Structure 1
Amino acid sequence: MAIDIYKINPEFREIMPQEIIDLEENATWAEKQDKPRGIKELPQTKELLEEHSLCAGCPEAAALRYVLSALPKPEETVIVNSTGCTSLMFPHIALHTVHSLFGNQNAVASGIKRVLDWRFPNKEKDVVVLAGDGATVDIGLDYTMQSFFRQENITTICFDNEVYANTGGQESGMTPKGQVFKMAPSGKKFEKVKMWELATTSGCHYSLNMTASAPKAVARAVREAITIAREVGPTYINLYTPCILEIGLSANEGLGEMKEQDKDRFDKYKYISPEAEACLAKAKEEGRL
């Protein structure tokens, strides 16, 4: 959306709800903006995601807002999603989105990216995969890793809540050892799969493990990952977004849980290949980051 495009008919302006008027006045996609939109504009903007149907206090909802606010070119971005809690938010997103079969989101994204590059050779078209740990690591691991092997120019963001949350609470490969859920009463028998390390050894030029506790850090990671994916190759972000209901927390405790895990299991593992380092340095020099 841009201010140049979204205009209220003057004949109807006086009967329009205030939120529609605010939307027109505060839209942040316009090229006339003095500087690129970003995380600071998040409270004043509604055009990307105003509402959602997730549980109250769900960290995934906040994380998605951070991700969307950081997209370099939202109007030129396609997000590929898969079955899971995240898929409940996508009907409310004002972006090009594709809902894939459970687990094959990276294969779909690969095809979309290739077609966009062929159809629009002179435009930067970004394709971002956004799926949960079940779709990314369990059911879709083959598709995920094969896209890394092929060096597809896409960014994969895993919303890692460490459980199959929207189907009752089954353990996933990303569940930590010993964790008990409603439908996994005996506890996880082995350690959590370190997908961020697999991404590194599978050809990703940028791999990061972090929580969604710090909006600016998430936004910076998303911008870096997409910039590298455009020019170098596949990138991966593992973003801890806990299911507060499954781990027995209240709606207002999600942020505290993520901050606590910042000090423990999510140590901000970060890998950047030499080619990606050069790409980021050039982007910063040119003012694109």
Structure 2
Amino acid sequence: MSLKYITPAERFKKYLPKDYVELVDYGPFGKTQEEAGPGNMGQFKELVEEHPMCSGCWMAYYIRLIFASLPNPEDTVTLGTAGCGRLAISQAAVPFIYGNYGDQNAMASGLTRAFRLRFPDKTKDVITIAGDGGTMDIGFSMTMHSWIRGEKFTTIMLDNEVYGNTGGQSSGMSPQGAILKMAPKGKDFGKMPATELARAAGCVYTVRMSPTNIKKAAKIIRRAIFVAREVGPTFIHAYTSCNIEYSIPTHEVFADAKAQEKDRFTFEEYMTDEAKEVIERVEAEEKAARMARKAQKTEAVN
């Protein structure tokens, strides 16, 4: 939970697992996004590199992107519940709490408050990452109450529009007409209006998107985290298709994600005035820091 605790003394490195040493030396801890961010994934030791998810899983790609986008991975805790996503999230080099089905936002509420009491002078980011079932179906009441109470953490919903982890049953987020194992004649009602519900419940920053653009998706993740630190609850509703239950050939997964940008997941970003102020300030500070680093490099070369 901090650089101090994850960095071993030099003399002990030879006794530690190679993966751990490489993560400390070449991973994203304490580094900038230019050094270890989404723009150069594959060139540093990532927080999540292997997973048991299906071949071509779009959710696995987005989870990898989430962890590459974290502002302070060494001071971040993730929470989740039963679902495909936790198979990868639980294997990332970031503390993960696995709760009972759907209670991740309730746990995050308590954890966020505890961090503020225990570490009043430090920033500790809390993020719930769960599927559409865990967030909007079984976890609906706890999700809504965390937003209504104004809890300061980020909720990311991995919407594969089906209960993919338990055999392909339809969920509240499955599209109307979807033919699934528990809806053989086609689901007879539409998707729950997740972002609208989030705004009505008090979320100060919400986004609905299909994360096909790495740079844009990373910016959204960071915005949501920065705003949650200072203002209130934030919510990202991301399309992460289930290529197995929807019979999407692996080589067409990206094309499907692009198609959804023009259909159920047209890009939508909402922010309150307070959230906008935070975003503008933080992004201006990050830009100034990048320019300063660039000037230092140029000066060093000359």
TM-score (norm 2): 0.87
Structure holding more helix per residue: 2
Where 1:124 maps in the other structure, the secondary structure is coil
Q: Deviations over 1:99-145 (max 9, x none)?
A: 01101110000000000110000000010000000010000111111
Where 1:83 maps in the other structure, the secondary structure is coil
The more displaced of 124-133 and 19-28 is 19-28
Query: Following superposition, which runs of at least 4 residues in structure 1 exceed 2 angstroms of deviation?
Result: 1-13, 19-28, 33-37, 284-289
C-alpha distance in 2, partners of 1:169/1:178? Answer: 15
**Which residue pairs with 1:27 in the alignment?**
27
**Which residue pairs with 1:203 in the alignment?**
202
Where 1:118 maps in the other structure, the secondary structure is helix
Answer yes or no: is the 8 Å Cα contact 2:28–2:45 preserved in 1: no
The letter of the residue matching 2:214 is P
List alignment gaps of at least 5 residues for structure 1: none
Where 1:286 maps in the other structure, the secondary structure is helix
TM-score (norm 1): 0.91
List alignment gaps of at least 5 residues for structure 2: 289-302
C-alpha distance in 2, partners of 1:28/1:264? Answer: 35
C-alpha distance in 2, partners of 1:39/1:209? Answer: 20
Where 2:129 maps in the other structure, the secondary structure is strand
Offset of 1:40 from its aligned partner?
A: 1.5
C-alpha distance in 2, partners of 1:8/1:52? Answer: 30
C-alpha distance in 1, partners of 2:158/2:13? Answer: 44
**Which residue pairs with 1:150 in the alignment?**
149
Q: Deviations over 1:215-268 (max 9, x none)?
A: 111110110000000000000000000000111112222111101111222111
C-alpha distance in 2, partners of 1:57/1:175? Answer: 20
The letter of the residue matching 1:71 is L
Where 1:252 maps in the other structure, the secondary structure is helix
Note the 1:103-182 alignment, pairs <5 A: 103-182=102-181
**Which residue pairs with 1:234 in the alignment?**
233
Note the 1:1-289 alignment, pairs <5 A: 5=7, 23=23, 26-30=26-30, 37-287=36-286
Distance 1:22 1:78, change over 3 A: closer
Offset of 1:25 from its aligned partner?
A: 5.2
C-alpha distance in 1, partners of 2:9/2:144? Answer: 44
C-alpha distance in 1, partners of 2:219/2:274? Answer: 18
Identity %: 40
